[in-house]
Amino acid sequence: MSASNSASRLRQVAPDREFPEAGAAPAPASRVTLEAAGLQMILLGLKALGQRAVVALATIATAAGLASVWFLFWQALPADPSVHQLVTLGMYALFVLAVFAQTARK
């Protein structure tokens, strides 16, 4: 199959569309176009900032859970805790770990 044969079988896409020449300068953008582009850039930045805030909140929740477990153990251990207190603190620690595991799955 020759090159001219395969070129004749290609169909033309958008034959009425005019394409600028390679050396031609682009047309200046209008004020409305620039404002719309600026608004899109601001919205994209706010979206990225919102996503980072959600990640930060999840990290803060994890740190708060771990801090609560540590604080409760720190308060109970020096005061000669009973078996019931240690079991209760252990169950609370397992509950916090289960919550972390559940949120990590999502």
| Residues 60, 66: Cα–Cα separation, whole Å | 10
Residue 86 per-residue DSSP state: H
- Give pLDDT, residue 93: 92
> 97 near 69, Cβ under 8 Å?
no
Per-residue pLDDT of 32-62, as tens digits, reads 788 888 889 999 888 988 888 888 887 888 8
CA distances from 86 to 20, 72, 83 (A): 78, 10, 5
What percentage of residues in the chain have a pLDDT greater than 70? Answer: 78
Delimit the domains of the chain by residue range: 29-105
pLDDT tops 80 at residue 72: yes
**8-state DSSP, 27:** P
The predicted structure's pLDDT at residue 38: 87
| Widest Cα–Cα separation across the chain | 93
pLDDT of residue 92: 93
